[in-house]
Amino acid sequence: MSPPIFALLFFTLVHLRLGSSALVSLTRGSFLSVERPSDVLVSPTGSFSAGFFPVGENAFTFAIWHGVPVCSGGSCVPVWMVSRGSPVNGERSRLSLTERGNLILTDAGKFIFPVWSLSNGSSKAAKLQLSDTGNLVLVDEGGETLWQSFDFPTDTLLPAQIIQRGTRVISSRSRYNYSEGSYSLHFSDDEVLRLIYNGPTLPVSYWPPPWLPGRFTSKSSRSAVLDSLGHFLSTDTFEFFSSDYGTILPRRLTLDPDGNLRLYSLNTSTRKWSVTWDAFSGMSCFIFGVCGNNSICSYDRTFGRTCSCVPGYERVDPSDWSYGCKPTFQLSHECSRDVGFVKVPYVDFYGNDYSSTSNITFKNCQSMCAGLCSCRGFQYTFDNGNGIYNCYLKTELFNGNNLPSFSGEFFIKVNKSVNFTKDQLQKRTRYNCTGGNKSEELDRKYRQERSSAVIRFMLWLAVAVAGIETVIVSLEGGGDVRHVRLVSWVQQKMRGPMESGWGSVRVEGIVDPTLMGNYDKRKMEALIHVALRCVEVDREMRPTMKEVVEMLLSYDDLS
Ligand SMILES: *[C@@H]1O[C@H](CO)[C@@H](O)[C@H](O)[C@H]1NC(C)=O
Ligand SMILES: *[C@@H]1O[C@H](CO)[C@@H](O)[C@H](O)[C@H]1NC(C)=O
Ligand SMILES: *[C@@H]1O[C@H](CO)[C@@H](O)[C@H](O)[C@H]1NC(C)=O
Ligand SMILES: *[C@@H]1O[C@H](CO)[C@@H](O)[C@H](O)[C@H]1NC(C)=O
Ligand SMILES: *[C@@H]1O[C@H](CO)[C@@H](O)[C@H](O)[C@H]1NC(C)=O
Ligand SMILES: *[C@@H]1O[C@H](CO)[C@@H](O)[C@H](O)[C@H]1NC(C)=O
Ligand SMILES: *[C@@H]1O[C@H](CO)[C@@H](O)[C@H](O)[C@H]1NC(C)=O
Ligand SMILES: *[C@@H]1O[C@H](CO)[C@@H](O)[C@H](O)[C@H]1NC(C)=O
Ligand SMILES: *[C@@H]1O[C@H](CO)[C@@H](O)[C@H](O)[C@H]1NC(C)=O
C-alpha cells in the first residue's frame, strides 16, 4: 500500500507541532509517561498515534487512534486500548519496556498490568513501534515480532487486521464507558463469523440474521479481513463493500455499544467519521437486547430507531438504554391472581416463552398468566389459517419490537391499583403507507448487485399486494378464500414459531424458492412488512396500487 496523501499531510503536521519530540519507538529501558503529553508514539507517516488517552476524570488508558498525536475536544476515536475496563491514574502511570524486556503498564506507580512478558525461551523485546496500519508491534533484537496489538482487538478492526479463530471483538459498554459491553464478534464453533449477545442468560447469536443467505465454511481456515479499498471478506463467504469502495481512506470496522457492526470512513478534511456500511441497516430493532429489558424498540425510516419503556415502567439509566426499564409499581411475591393487564398493540416480544396453547379463549389465556407467578405478560393471536386463537405466556419482556404488521395483541401484567398516564398507554401506531421520507436515511450507497433479482422480487411482491387488494375488495361481495389465505399465510410465516430467541422473521418460507440466495433478505423483510401493513389498515387508509409501487421503488436504495 502506497502511503496515502492524508498520511503525508499528517506527517508534516506532526513535525510542525511536535518537532522532534514525537517518538518513533520505545526502546528497552524506557517508558511513556501519562504526565507528558508529548509521550506519544507516532507511526512512520503519522497515520496513527499511540499514547495515554483520557477516558474520564483523571482516568486514562493506553490507546491507539488515527492521526495527530494531540487529541483536542474528543476529536480522536480510540481504535485499540489496553486495560479498557480499568483505566489508570493521571499521575505516575507509565507504559514501560523494562530492562528485562517486558512490556508493562503501571497504574499510579503501584499496580502493574503486564501487556507482554518474557516467557522461557522467548527472546527479549528490543523495541515497541507503531506501524502505519495502526498495529502496535513489539520486536526483538532481530526485528522478529513478539507481540502485536492486531492480535488483541478491543471493539474495532482496522484494514489489514485479520480476525481469526479465537479473536474476539467486544463492544464497549457505552460511548463513554470503554469497558466490555454485551456484544461480541467472533468465529463460532460452526466456523461462521457471528455477532453474539452475551446477556444475563445464555449467549444468543443475532447475526447473521435468519433472513440472510446461508454461509459456507471452508475446512481449514477461519479468518476475515477488511482491505484498504473497503472490501471485507471472510472464509465463511460473507463479504461486503463499503459505499465508498475503491478509495484508500482511513476506515474502521467497529462493534458499537448498541450491538450494530458499522464500517466508518474518515473524511480527512472535515475529520468526521461517516458510516459506509452496517450490519443492520434499517433493521436495528432486530439486534438482540438493543433497548434492554422491559422496553419496546420501534424503527421508522424518518426517525430511525427509538426505544421506549413498556407501560408502567421507567428507565433504569437515562443515558444508557441497554439497562432497560424497571417497574414503577410493586407486584407482590405472593403471586396474587388479583393483577391487571395493559394492552400493547403491534408489539412482539420474541423469545422467553413459557408455553404456547392453541385454541383457547382470551379469558383462559389471561387467567393462565395471572395464575403463573413468573408470567410477565401474554400474547394472544388469531391464527387465520386454522381459525383459532393462540396464547403465548412470556417470562420476560425482552426484545420488544414494534412491528406494524404484527396482528397479535400483547398484554402486560401490572399491579391492578396502578393508574397509568395517557402517555404510558399511548397507542402504538402502524406506519403510514403513503408517507415516507427518503431524505432522512443515512447516506449509504451500496454497490449495485443483484438488482435484477430485487426488481423481480418487487414485481412478485407488487403482484402479491395486487392479489391482496383484489381479495379485500371482493370480500365486500364474493370472497376469494385462496387470496385471504395468502395474507394470513404470509403473516403467519413472518411471525413464525417463537423459538431460540428468534421468531419474528421467516422470510425464506414466503419467497419464491427460485429466487433463493439471489436477493437481499433484509430488504425483503422490510418490503413484506410494507405489504402487510398496507393490507391491515382501513380501506380508506390503504395506499393505492400506484402508491405501493412508488413506495417499493423508494425502498430500493440500490442505485
Ligand atoms: C522458566 O524456567 C524455570 C526453570 O526451568 C522455571 O522454574 C519457571 O517456572 C519457568 N517460567 C515460566 C514462566 O515458564
Ligand atoms: C462502566 O461499565 C462497567 C460495566 O457495566 C461498570 O462496572 C462501570 O462502573 C462503568 N464505569 C463508569 C465510569 O460508569
Ligand atoms: C468531506 O467533506 C467535505 C465537506 O462536507 C465534502 O465536500 C467532501 O466531498 C468530503 N470528502 C469525501 C472524500 O467524502
Ligand atoms: C427484567 O426485569 C425484570 C423485572 O424488573 C427482572 O425480574 C428480570 O430479572 C430482568 N431480566 C433481565 C434479563 O435483566
Ligand atoms: C399492588 O401494590 C400495592 C402497593 O403499591 C401492594 O400492597 C399490593 O400487594 C400490590 N398488588 C399485587 C398483586 O402485587
Ligand atoms: C377449538 O375448540 C372448540 C371448543 O373446544 C372445538 O369445538 C373446536 O373444534 C376446536 N378447534 C380446533 C381447530 O381445534
Ligand atoms: C387512581 O385513580 C383513581 C380514580 O381517579 C383514584 O381514586 C386513585 O386514588 C388513584 N390511585 C393512585 C394509586 O393514584
Ligand atoms: C399519511 O401521510 C400522508 C402524507 O404525509 C398524509 O397526507 C396522510 O394524512 C397520512 N395518513 C395517516 C392515516 O396518517
Ligand atoms: C422530509 O425530510 C426533510 C428533511 O428533513 C424535511 O424538510 C421534510 O419536511 C420532510 N417531509 C415530510 C413529508 O416529512
Residue nearest to atom 6 of ligand 2 (CA): 179
Give the residue, 552 or 448, on which the prediction is more confident.
Answer: 552
* Residue 60 in grid coordinates: 486514562
Residue 494 has what pLDDT? 52
User: Are the C-beta atoms of 552 and 530 separated by less than 8 Å?
Assistant: yes
Closest ligand, as measured to the CA of 413: 5
pLDDT attached to residue 215: 75
Better-scored residue on pLDDT, 515 or 46? 46
Q: Are 263 and 271 in contact (CB under 8 A)?
A: no
Domain 1-148 matches domain 153-281 at the CATH topology level: yes
Which residues touch 49 (CB under 8 Å, ≥6 apart)?
40, 41, 42, 43, 64, 65, 66, 67, 68, 69, 76, 130
Least confident piece of the model among 21-30, 307-316, 443-452: 443-452
**Mean pLDDT value across residues 192-215:** 82
Spatial separation of the C-alpha atoms in residues 236 and 268, rounded to whole Å? 33
Strands ordered across the beta sheet of 272-278: 156-157, 251-255, 261-267, 272-278
Strand partners, 353: 394
Which ligand has an atom closest to residue 551 CA? 8
Reading the block at residue 190, the C-alpha cell is 460452526
For the CA of 433, the nearest atom of ligand 8? 1
Handedness of CA 501, 507, 509, 515 (dihedral sign): negative
Best mutation site among 293, 316, 395, 413 for ligand 4, i.e. most ligand atoms within 8 A of its Cβ? 293
- Find the residues whose C-beta lies inside 6 A of ligand 7: 417, 419
Number of helical H runs and strand E runs in the chain? 6, 36
pLDDT digits (tens, 9 = 90+) for 132-147: 999 999 999 999 999 9
Question: How large is the average pLDDT for residues 433-456?
Answer: 33
Contact 25, 129 (CB under 8 A): yes
Task: Give the position, in ligand 1's atom list, of the atom nearest the Cα of 120.
Answer: 1
Which residue is closest in CA terms to ligand 7's atom 2?
419
Does 119 sit in the ligand 1 pocket, CB within 6 Å? yes
Shortest-distance atom of ligand 5 to CA 336: 13
Is-contact 375 393, C-beta < 8 A? yes
Residue nearest atom 5 in ligand 7 by C-alpha distance: 419
Neighbour-count burial of 420, counting CB atoms closer than 10 A to its CB (0-12 exposed, 13-18 middle, 19+ buried) = middle
The pLDDT assigned to 435 comes to 32
Which helix (H) or strand (E) element contains residue 371?
helix 362-371
Please tell me which residue, 74 or 76, carries the higher pLDDT value: 76
Ligand 2, atom nearest to 56 Cα? 13
The shares of helix, strand and coil residues in the chain, as percent rounded to the nearest 5, are: 20, 30, 50
pLDDT at 396: 92
Closest ligand relative to 377 C-alpha: 4
CATH number of 296-425: 3.50.4.10
Distance 406 CA to ligand 4 centre (A): 24
Give yes or no for a contact between 93 and 60, defined as CB atoms under 8 angstroms apart: yes
- Higher-scoring residue by pLDDT: 329, 458: 329
| Closest-approaching ligand to the CA atom of 415 | 5
Q: Kindly state if the Cβ of 120 falls inside 6 Å of ligand 1.
A: yes
Flag whether pLDDT at 306 surpasses 60.
yes
More confident residue, 412 or 503: 412
Beta bridge partners of 410: 344, 379
pLDDT for the residue 227:
97
- Cell readout for 482 is 385462496
DSSP-based three-state secondary structure for 55: strand
**Does the pLDDT of residue 10 top 50, yes or no?**
no
To test the ligand 9 pocket, which listed residue (431, 433, 437, 550) has its Cβ within 8 A of the most ligand atoms? 437
Q: At what angle do helices 451-475 and 521-536 cross, to 10 degrees?
A: 20
Give the pLDDT score at 248.
94
Domain ranges of the chain: 1-148, 153-281, 296-425, 438-558
Question: Per-residue confidence at 241, pLDDT binned at 50, 70, 90?
Answer: very high
Domain with residues 153-281, CATH architecture: Orthogonal Prism (2.90)
pLDDT tops 90 at residue 95: yes
**pLDDT for the residue numbered 301:** 67
Q: From the CA of 339, give the closest atom in ligand 5.
A: 13
Q: Which ligand is located closest to the Cα atom of residue 171?
A: 2
What is the architecture of the domain spanning 1-148?
A: Orthogonal Prism (2.90)
pLDDT at residue 302 in the model? 66
Q: What is the β-pairing status of strands 78-82 and 169-172?
A: unpaired
Beta-strand relationship, 400-402 and 295-300 = parallel
pLDDT at residue 350 greater than cutoff 70:
yes
Going from the Cα of 287 to the center of ligand 8, the distance in angstroms, rounded, reads 29
Query: Ligand 2 centroid vs 290 CA: distance in angstroms?
Result: 18
